[in-house]
Structure formats: C-alpha cells, structure tokens
Amino acid sequence: MRSPLTGKAVRRALRPVAHLIDQRIERQVRRLVGTGGTPAGAARQPEAHRDHRHPLELFFDGTGRGVSRVPSAAALQRLIAELAEVTGDRAGAERAAAQAFRLLVALEALGVGRIAGGTMNIVGKLSAVPLLDPPNDEILEIGTLYGMFGAALIRMMERAGRDPGLTIVDPLAGTQVQPGTTMGDDASGTPVREAAVRTNLSLAGAAGAAARVQQGYSGDPGVRALVSDRSYGVIVVDGDHSAAGVAADLEWAEEITAPGGIVVLDDFGHPKWPGITEAFQRHMAGDTRFTFLGRVAHSGYLRAKAA
C-alpha cells in the first residue's frame, strides 16, 4: 500500500503551504544578503557588500574636496607625537586631534566649499593653536578660501574655554589666487566669495557671526591699516604662498603679533610650496621677535618674544 503522504492528492493539497514556506525563506535570505533575492544577485554578493559600504565611504573620501579624510593609523600617531613635541601636552594632543578630526569631517559635510589641505595638517593646526595657549583670543587668518578653517578654529578655541575673535583677510576673488600658479576650478565646485565664508562662519555660532571679513590682499596698505587695529594672539599665514608673499606676511606679523603670540606658517616644508621655507629661513636669519617652536604635519609654529 502507498504511503498517504506520497499520494498525488496529498501533494496537491499541501502545495499552497509549501509555497508559503518557500516565500518566507526567500524573504529572509533577501533581507540577509541584500541581493534582491535572485540567483544572479546572490552570485554578486561581494559587489552587493561594496554597494552597502559606499555611502559610508562618501562621508570620508576625496570627492568634492580633492583629498580623502581617512588618515592611516601611523599618520595619526605621528601627528600626535609631533603635537606633543611642539605643545608639551601629550594627553591634550590625543584628545584635541580626535575632536579636531570629527569637527573637520562634520564641517565639510555641512558647510560650503571645503577646508584646504591634507587631513593631518588641518587636524594639526586645529589642535596645536589652543594647546599653545596664545596670550589673547584675537586671531588673524591671512588667506581663508571658504572661511571654514576659521570657523573650525573658533570651535576649537571655545572648546578650550577661550573667547575667540576672528579677523580674515582674503581677496575672495571667485577662485583661489596664487601668484605664479594657475589654480583650476576648485574641487568643491564652489566659487570663493564672501557669502560662502559667511555661511561657514555662521556654523561657528556667535563668534563666527561676529568675525571680521576684510576683502583684499594682505600686502595692501589700506587693508593693513584696517586690520592692524589690535595685537593678535594668533596669526595664521596661509595667503600668498610665494617666497615674496610669505616674506611680506612675516614682516607684517612682526608688527601685529601680541607678545607671546603664535604664528602658524601653513604649508611649511610642503614640496609644492618651496617659497614658504625659503621666506621663513631668510626671515629667521634676520632680526626677529619670533622663535621657532617646531613643525606639525605641514605647518610651522613660531612664538613671539614675551613682553
């Protein structure tokens, strides 16, 4: 006698139940694998995983800013060691570097344009300035591009309990100006103009909104007269990168840096900008108030003689 379960009539009767079970299994597999549930999709599983990861990569990769924001562990450790050496504060360097890195990624995600330069150099500057404990809270940034670094520096100073006042000088000429160099369209696709700078500064709260933005060149006597109304605790030299331009900014910095103030020489030692080291060496060989504190990533740090 045939088993009742193998009978044709029984199989027909169970078919809807089997179909339901099949559908459930398929749904579970689709959810787990994310392939669309087709055999072809299952065969493409590694690709599907890449697709899953891609949105996360977009958060850190170089698209729209020219450089990736994913530092290697070795680069990060080197940066912290350099920060500790220049500032004398190892624990502070570790904490500040982590906070500055998060801030950089967040501001570029939210702001207009980008912050210029490599990740370690930016994180280094944002960390070093508050750790060097400038003698007052007045900051002058020569060359701002989109104002986003200035906004970030305001945040980092406030995190250290400071009340930063930012002054910016930049031609804001639509594109980045670099004498002797043809700068193509910016990786961000955003024109360099005051509206962009203001939007980014607004991300830094009241101190950002209160920042002074002086359109023009740092070598212009009219610009200098307007901006030289105070002594600065911090001056970031990041405008004209030619030897002549940096030499002129360093001479000006001699006059307007507060006693004990900090000068950040951006792109110092960067192979793309040899004029910066050249101007620095010539300047330091002359009569100067500045002492070289050291280098962190691609920035040099100077301190003016205390009163």
DSSP secondary structure letters along 75-92: HHHHHHHHHHHHHS-HHH
What is the rounded CA–CA span in Å between residue 274 and residue 270? 7
Contact status: 218 vs ligand SAM (CB under 6 A): yes
What is the rounded CA–CA span in Å between residue 244 and residue 262? 21
Contact status: 138 vs ligand SAM (CB under 6 A): no
Give the residue, chosen from 82, 108, 170, 186, that forms a contact with ligand SAM under the rule CB under 6 A.
170
Give the residue, chosen from 86, 132, 142, 279, that forms a contact with ligand SAM under the rule CB under 6 A.
142
Contact status: 34 vs ligand SAM (CB under 6 A): no
Give the residue, chosen from 86, 192, 203, 247, that forms a contact with ligand SAM under the rule CB under 6 A.
192
Which lies closer to ligand SAM via its Cβ, residue 131 or residue 148?
Answer: 148
Count of positions on this chain that bind ligand SAM (CB under 6 A): 23
Tell me which residues in 240-269 interact with ligand SAM (CB under 6 A): 240, 245
Burial 254-277 (b: 16+ CB within 10 A, else e): eebbbebbbbbbbbbebeebebbb
Which lies closer to ligand SAM via its Cβ, residue 146 or residue 290?
Answer: 146
Q: Which helix (H) or strand (E) holds 151?
A: helix 148-159
Give the residue, chosen from 217, 232, 252, 290, that forms a contact with ligand SAM under the rule CB under 6 A.
217
DSSP secondary structure letters along 245-307: HHHHHHHHHHHHEEEEEEEEEETTT-TT-HHHHHHHHHHHHSS-SEEEEEEETTEEEEEEPP-
Using Cβ positions, the residue closest to ligand SAM within the complex turns out to be 143
Interface residues with ligand SAM (CB under 6 A) are 115-117, 141-145, 148-149, 169-171, 176-177, 192, 217-219, 238-240, 245
